[in-house]
Copies of this chain bind each other. A is one copy, B any other.
């Protein structure tokens, strides 16, 4: 059926969009870190095991471009930079919860075998 096919194509596109914005190894961990209260570059960096500055820097830019986080320059002495999650970012909460939940189950499953 044509209508069914269109629906299916829509689903695929939606999921591929999500994967583009949130996919990869680091984007969600970074968001979680900022969400958890880390604001400064080095704070975030230290909170996430094994991430390098280079990768963190690139991912922060990607997330900023996609409106999930905000970068603020605070004109103090010395100047500070703060990263915060945007209101829009709260929308991903459910996605994250489901992914976390499934990931845990999957690890258990593999562990039991």
Contact = CB atoms under 8 A, between A and B. Distances in A.
Interface of A: 8-19, 21, 23-25, 28-29, 32-33, 36, 47-49, 67, 88, 91-92, 94-107, 109
Given A17-B106, A88-B109, A107-B17, A100 B25 contact: no
Closest 8 CB pairs of A and B: A14-B103, A18-B103, A17-B103, A95-B98, A18-B99, A12-B29, A14-B100, A14-B104
A107 B67 CA distance: 12
A84 to B, nearest CB: 18
Contacts of A103: 13-18
A99 B14 contact: yes
Contacts of A101: 14, 94
A102 B92 contact: yes
